[in-house]
Structure formats: C-alpha cells, structure tokens
Structure 1
Amino acid sequence: MKHLKLYCLLSLFIFMCMSTSANTGGDSTSPIIADGAKLELIANNFAFTEGPAVDKAGNIFFTDQPNDKIWKYDVNGKLSVFLDRTGRSNGLYFDKKGNIIACADNQNELWSIDPSGKVTVIMSDYKGQKLNGPNDLWIDAHGGIYFTDPYYQRDYWTRKKPEIEGQKVYYLKKGSKEPVIVAADIVKPNGIVGAPDGKSIFVADIDGGKIYKYTIDKDGALSNQQFFANSRADGITLDNQGNLYCCGNGVTVFNSKGEKIAHIDVPAKWTANVCIGGKDNDELFLTASEGVYKVKLKVKGVEK
C-alpha cells in the first residue's frame, strides 16, 4: 500500500510539472509551444546577439553588438549581413515606414536605418548630456519612441562614468530631437514593450528583479506604476494572447495576470532578447549569447 501511495504521489507531481512548464521538447501540454515543436539553433557564430525585431514580411533582424553588425534572417531561412558599422546597435524596432530604429550606444544615440542601410541620427543627447546607453525600445501608434537607458560600461567608450544621474525610461515624440523622462522610479530599466492597444507598457527592472506595468497617458507620459511579476529580465515581448516573454536564464512566460505559465530552456549562458515573427507570425526568435534560435508557437506575435 505504501508503494502504491508513493507511486500515485509521484505520478501527480510529474503531471503538475508537465502542466505548468514548457521546454525545448515540444510538450503538447505547453500553453505556448506548438505540439511537437523543438527549439532549433539557427547559427552560433556570433560574439553576442541582441535586439531581434520583425519587419512587416516576418523577416527577423538582430544585432551582433561586439562585431558591430546587424544581421537578417529571412522567412525562407537565409541568414545574411544587413549592415556593418551600426553604431554598436543594441535594441531594434521597425517603424511604420519600414525603417529600423536602433539603440546605437557607441555614441548613445537613436538611429533610423532605411531599407537600403542609410543612417539618420534622430537623437544624440539629453539636454546636452550623453545618455547612459540606449538599450531597448518600443514605438507607439503615433511614432513616438519609448526607450530604456541603463548604464553598462563599454570597453569602446572613453568615459568611465555616466554624465546623467540615474537610469531612466525616456520618450521621444515623433519629430522631436529632445527626449523626456517618463519613468525614473526603476533601479535599472532594460527590456520594454507596449500593449497592442497602446494603453499600457511593460518595463523590465533587471537589477530590481521585477517587471512593472504602466498606464500610457494621452500625452505619452507614464503613470500608475504597477508591479506585474518577479523576473530579472533582459529583453521582453508580448504575444496576441497577452502573454509576456521575459529573457535571462532562458525565457520565462507570464500570462496577462502576471502568473508564470511556462519556461523555455535555452542552451546558452544568457538569453538576451526575443521577438515573434516568421512567415506566419508564429515563430519565437531568441538571441542568446553566441547564438540565435527559433521555436514554433501556438500563439502569434503582435509587432508586424
């Protein structure tokens, strides 16, 4: 009888674990990973990958920041260099015109890169001071840019300390060259993504170990900071079911209530960022240390 009870308890434990996690093996109980799908390595010949972004066709663009390149992975599986000398671009996002908006932290600027690779500097400082290092960004329906500005000392900088006190979230209104501070109540902001309806935005506080949700006001300001989930997250993204994907030690997924519903194991030291794209807008693309990966989803993206 004791053995039977032990067996029943063990079976129940295994069932509960399978029901609350997603792994690289394509478990059919996963709420997000497609049945039978497995994490696939695209390539691992990079120094450190970051900033994946999807264009309207579903092609993925990402950065290899130490090598100062932006790469393109198209919907047919072709991998190619899109641009050399990218200003040490980190986070990327596409605007409505098909330009890449890049956090170019070589000189702590925001760049607009057109489809031919032509660069326009759209922001270079904050009130005459160099920003810490624009890291990640999200563009609203009006063309305004929200971006995070943590300080990570780069070996290619001549300066050894920040010019601006504190690490904040900024908003650059379309047509303006002067950003405004919209959140200064975070230890070290990193990943950022807005909801498709434009009413709220999520910010990852990587040093604080928390994800916060803000209300987006009509003038672009952020208000009503709310705790969303505990996560020491780097890059973040949303799917069309309102699930939030948080990068770091693999990818942890929270539902719209902030409840953990899945974890995707990634065979890399650090998973930096993630986006959803592909031909059918249902592939999760991950930049993780020296590699880039993808896996098929049951859900779809909201950025293309």
Structure 2
Amino acid sequence: MMKRASGWMFSLALACGGGSGETTTDTGTGTDPTGTGTDATSTDATGTTVGTDTTEASTSIAPTSTSDPTSTTDATTTSTTTDASTEPATDGTTTTTTGAVDPPMSLDDIVDGELELISDGHQFTEGPIWSPEGFLLFSDIPANTIFRWAEGEQAAPFINPSGNSNGLAFDLEGRLLAAEHGGRRLSRRVVGEANAETVAGEFEGNSLNSPNDIAVRSDGTIYFTDPPYGIQPNQQELDFQGVFRVDPQGQLSLIADDFDRPNGIALSPDETRLYVADTNGEHVRVFEVQPDGQAMGGEVFIDLQSDLPGNPDGMAVDSFGDLFVSGGGGVRVVTPAGQLLGTIEVPEQVTNCKFGDPDGKALFITAQARVYRIRLKVAGA
C-alpha cells in the first residue's frame, strides 16, 4: 500500500493581495450577508417548515480541479490503487465506481466527476450538512432560513426563522445544531420541530459574538468558533474572538482567545486534531485534542495566502485525514502532513464544504448564492 510522507510541514505562500477587506460583519471573507448586522437576542428561536421552492439548476460544469504547481509531490509517485465496487445510483440502477484504497497523492486521486450546480438564487449560503436520512441542509444567512435539498428535488425552505444560522451539525442523538448569528448562540432542535433550545449563549456573563461553525466529537463534545461577523462593533460584549468547547455535560469552556477571525472548524478522523481556520490570518491552526476533550497548542498548520477570491473559511475532512479548506479560488486540499495537493476550482467565492451523498463520496460546496456538488474518489471521515 502506498504511503505519503509524514512528519513534515509544507506551507504555501502565494502573492498577498487576496485579503478579506473585512469590516465588521460576516461572510467569512469580509462582507455582511445579512446586510444589517442581524439583531441580537438571547431568546430561543422558533422555526416553521415551509415549502416555497427556489430556483434550481442541474448544470454540470467542466472539471475545474488543478494541481498545486508548487507541490513537492513527485509526479512519478502520484498514482494510487483503487478498488471497484457496485453502488446504487440515484435513479435506482447500479453503477460501478472506484474508491481510493491508498491515501491520495494528487487531485487526480481525489476528483471523480464534474462540478454540478444543484441550487441557485439564494442570498448567501453557508453551513452544508448531510443528513443520514438522505438529504442536504444548508443555511442562507440573510434569508434567515435553513434549506433542504434532496436528489431529484429543488431546494426548499425547511426552517424559518433560523436565527440567521451559519454552520450546522448533528449531535449524537441526531438533533440539529446551529451556529446562529442573529440569536448569538449555539442552538439545538429535533429535526422537523419548530422550537430550538440554547446550548450556549454567553460566556462569563457576556453574550457570545456570533457563533460561526461547529464540529462534534464522538463522545458528544461540541467545538465551535465565535467571530464577530454577525454583529456590529457596539454589540460586542466579549473582548476577544474565541474558540469554545461544550463538554458532554453541557459545560462551556474557552479553548483559545488569540484568533483574529476564527471561522471553519473540523476534527481529524481519529479526533486527535482540531483544525480551526483564521480567515483574516489566511491560515489554518491545529490543536491537539486530549482524551478529556481539552484542546492544546494552536500553532499554524498551513499558510494559505492567496490572491484568488476567498480566504480560509469552512472545512471538511476525508477518511484519510485530508483537509478540504474553502477559499483561495475554490476548495484547497491539504494532507495531514501539511502538503497542499491543489485546488478544486469553483467559479464563485466558496464559503464552506461538507461530505455527503449516501456513500459519503460527494463534496457539497456553498458559494454565495449557489450550492454545488462534486463527486470524489474518497469518502468523508
């Protein structure tokens, strides 16, 4: 079995100039998706299921993935062995696909299809999450709505109001967690129910800024980021932009307070690493997760400066531990050793990405007004 080099760091430093231009409100790159800074409230949000469709396009776009020209990977060692398997297709038939057996050595070992536009006509999309029930949920922050998309259907409003939700996740009981800009809280609800409860809304007597993204450990520990994107400067009560942890007993604690704009957050497959993107810093930092869920360290894992649209934002991890980081022209793919394999290019500025589809081998990508899907040879962690 082919193995990648490990134990060393690779940092890409392209020409600076793709900064966020961030003012005070969010997109992960500097514009306010709500247009208003959103209202601050500490009360529970309610949600209703509605059925108005949005415009959907089933457009396939020519492959746009590119290998990183600065990568040190030897072209003679980029092939990988794959196995063939028969899987159900979306139309009920079967199709033979290939799945990666060895860790990917290049984007050719990762990408297995064309970029497909699955939903359009939104205001600002974020927080994609695949449900085990077979559908995708994603946030439209300024629309104050969580949308639902399933194969063969148009995306339709699912929860409104959503508290101007950003990142979404499921807890161990299958309940929906939402990082709410408007509610300034981390909320939780049973999928399909109107009412949501507050998991975390303040720290040491002060309101949170505007929770942004979420990662959940297998023991129920919740990690989330809290930049000030969804509020105005005069609304900020904390004097820092933090990364937080909620333990399985519901106790909130601070992991780090030295970020500029903490944004996307993800765990490695073995849950020993916690990755956090700092959008304004244009890098991803890494923390070592302790058995009790505490996270230590926080050094820079990889520098992702770029003059292309977007800075590091939402992230996803595949089964090999590769990190998929939105920003810099699309989705950047980084190995656990910190080597940049290349970029899955997207025509709009990307805000987030998550694995999905029944086999876990699709990457769903939110990009401002649109949502895309691209089939991969690797599955999500």
Structures share fold, TM-score greater than 0.5: yes
More relative contact order, 1 or 2 (CA 8 Å, 6+ apart): 2
Q: For each residue in 1:212-235, what CA deviation from the matched residue of structure 2 results, as whole angstroms up to 9, or x when unmatched?
A: 111111332211333211123010
> 1:30 is matched with which residue: 100, 108, 115?
108
SS in 1 for 2:202: coil
Provide the rounded CA distance (Å) in 2 between the counterparts of 1:18 and 1:152.
31
What residue is the counterpart of 2:330 in the other structure? 250
1:160, distance to aligned residue in structure 2 (A): 2.6
> 2:211 is matched with which residue: 103, 110, 134?
134
What residue is the counterpart of 1:236 in the other structure? 315
- Residue 210 of structure 1 aligns with an amino acid whose one-letter code is H
Give structure 1 regions of 4+ aligned residues with deviation exceeding 6 angstroms.
Answer: none
> 2:360 is matched with which residue: 270, 281, 302?
281
1:72, distance to aligned residue in structure 2 (A): 1.3
Paired residues, number: 273
Distance verdict in 2 for CA 1:88–1:29, change over 3 Å: closer
Distance verdict in 2 for CA 1:196–1:29, change over 3 Å: closer
TM-score (structure 2 length as normaliser): 0.68
What residue is the counterpart of 2:183 in the other structure? 107
> 1:199 is matched with which residue: 268, 272, 277?
272
What residue is the counterpart of 2:351 in the other structure? 272
1:130, distance to aligned residue in structure 2 (A): 0.9
Unaligned runs of 5+ in 1: 1-16, 22-27
1:88 matched to 2:164? The reply is: yes
Unaligned runs of 5+ in 2: 1-64, 70-105, 305-310
Larger mean CA deviation between 181-190 and 138-147 belongs to 181-190
Provide the rounded CA distance (Å) in 1 between the counterparts of 2:177 and 2:321.
24
- Residue 200 of structure 1 aligns with an amino acid whose one-letter code is R
* 1:1-304 correspondence to structure 2 within 5 Å: 20=68, 30-34=108-112, 37-118=113-194, 119-154=196-231, 160-176=234-250, 178-231=251-304, 232-248=311-327, 249-268=329-348, 270-302=349-381
- Residue 171 of structure 1 aligns with an amino acid whose one-letter code is R
- Residue 286 of structure 1 aligns with an amino acid whose one-letter code is I
SS in 1 for 2:109: coil
Provide the rounded CA distance (Å) in 2 between the counterparts of 1:151 and 1:29.
34
Aligned-residue RMSD, C-alpha: 2.0
Q: Is the 8 A contact 1:167 1:187 kept in 2?
A: yes
1:33, distance to aligned residue in structure 2 (A): 0.5
Provide the rounded CA distance (Å) in 2 between the counterparts of 1:293 and 1:209.
23
1:41, distance to aligned residue in structure 2 (A): 0.6
- Residue 246 of structure 2 aligns with an amino acid whose one-letter code is L
1:117, distance to aligned residue in structure 2 (A): 2.5
1:20, distance to aligned residue in structure 2 (A): 4.3
Identity over aligned residues, as a percent? 32
Distance verdict in 2 for CA 1:112–1:215, change over 3 Å: same
Distance verdict in 2 for CA 1:101–1:82, change over 3 Å: same
1:74, distance to aligned residue in structure 2 (A): 2.1
What residue is the counterpart of 2:38 in the other structure? none
Provide the rounded CA distance (Å) in 1 between the counterparts of 2:332 and 2:179.
24
1:73, distance to aligned residue in structure 2 (A): 1.5
Q: For each residue in 1:45-85, what CA deviation from the matched residue of structure 2 results, as whole angstroms up to 9, or x when unmatched?
A: 10000001122244211001100111112245552222110
